[in-house]
């Protein structure tokens, strides 16, 4: 059916180095996920690079999505949205505004708040990594 082992796509030379611009309120976990994802793709972060990956806006929200029989929160939904842009050396946008979005359901138990908080932290870290991978893949496609 036409599938073959994916061949070796060399990282385009122009995408090999990137400079990263974050807003002052970019969550540390997103920054960490971006750096991990870039490192995994073999991209080095340098101050002066042909292309810049600029994180414009990070929105995250936890809202109740289902309630139990006495109207207390049964499950939360975690939503995350990052808008970002790829710019060339003289800071002109080559991509226009891009966005990455993800959402996950979080079990919540008001009687086990501490455990729910730890669960949420792990799930959020996985979500930041999913977002970071999507952002980096779009960066590599644009930094040609």
Partner 1 sequence: DTEKPRPCLTNLPKQEACGASNGADNRPASQYSQLDWFPYAPGTAPGICSGRYIEPASISSDEGTDILDQPIIINAEQGSSSLGQGTKLEGSVDIAQGNRRLQSESATYDQVTGQLELNGGASYREPGLLLRGETAVANTNTLETTLTGAQYVMHERQIRGDVERITRRQDESILIEKGSYTVCPPGDEAWKLQASEIILDKSSGFGLAKHAALRVADVPILYLPYFYFPIDDQRHTGFLYPSISMSNDDGASISTPYYLNLSPQMDDTIVPHYIEKRGFLLENEFRYMNQYTHNTLTTAFLPNDNLEDRDRWLFSFVQPGRWTDKLTSEINYIHVSDNDYLDDLSTLADIDGDSHLSRIGRVTYTEELWQADFLLQGYQTVDEDTDRPYQRLPELTFNGDTDNNERIMNAALIAQATNFYRNNSGFTGIERANGGRLHLEPEIYANFVKPWGYIKPSAKLWYSNYNLTDADDFDSNPSTSVPILSIDSGLVFERNTEFVGTTYKQTLEPRLYALYVPYEEQSGIPDFDTTEYNFNYQSLFRENRYSGYDHIGDTQQVSLGLTTRLFSDLGRETLSASIGQAYFYSDRKVTLDDDESNYSNGDSSDIATAINWRANKRLDLSIDANFDHSAFRNTENNLSLRYRADENRIFNMNYRYAEGIREQSTFGFMWPVDKNWSTLGVWQYDWFNKNDVDLAFGVEYESCCWQTRVIVRNWLKDDDDKDTALYVQFVLKGLGNLGSNGGSSLLEKITGFKQRDDNNETF
Angle at 133 (CA atoms; ends 96, 28), nearest 5 degrees: 90
CB 52 within 8 A of CB 43: no
Q: Which residue in the set 9, 47, 90, 92 belongs to the binding site for partner 1 (CB under 8 A)?
A: 9
Does residue number 88 form part of the binding site for partner 1 (CB under 8 A)?
A: no
For the bound state, the minimum distance from the C-beta of residue 114 to partner 1, rounded and expressed in Å, comes to 4
77: exposed, middle or buried (Cβ count in 10 Å: 0-12, 13-18, 19+): middle
What 3-state DSSP class applies to 128? helix
Residue whose C-alpha is closest to residue 142's, from 80, 92, 81, 82 = 92
Does residue number 134 form part of the binding site for partner 1 (CB under 8 A)?
A: yes
Does residue number 35 form part of the binding site for partner 1 (CB under 8 A)?
A: yes
Q: Which residue in the set 14, 21, 56, 75 belongs to the binding site for partner 1 (CB under 8 A)?
A: 75
Does residue number 92 form part of the binding site for partner 1 (CB under 8 A)?
A: no
Strand partners, 21: 54
Residues in the site for partner 1, rule: CB under 8 A?
1-9, 24-25, 28, 31-32, 35-36, 39-40, 42, 59, 61-75, 77, 79, 81, 99, 101, 103, 105, 107, 109-119, 122, 126, 134, 137-142
């Amino acid at each position: 059916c036409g599938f073959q082992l994916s061949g070796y796509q060399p990282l385009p030379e122009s995408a090999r180095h990137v400079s990263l611009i974050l807003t002052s309120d970019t969550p540390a976990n997103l920054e960490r996920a971006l750096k991990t994802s870039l490192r995994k793709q073999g991209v080095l972060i340098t101050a002066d690079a042909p292309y810049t990956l600029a994180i414009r806006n990070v929105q995250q929200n936890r809202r109740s999505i289902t309630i139990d029989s006495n109207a207390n929160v049964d499950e939360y939904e975690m939503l995350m949205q990052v808008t970002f842009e790829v710019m060339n050396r003289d800071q002109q946008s080559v991509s226009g505004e891009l966005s990455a979005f993800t959402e996950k359901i979080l079990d919540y138990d008001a009687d086990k708040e501490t455990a729910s908080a730890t669960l949420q932290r792990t799930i959020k870290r996985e979500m930041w990594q999913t977002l970071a991978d999507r952002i980096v893949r779009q960066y590599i496609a644009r930094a040609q």
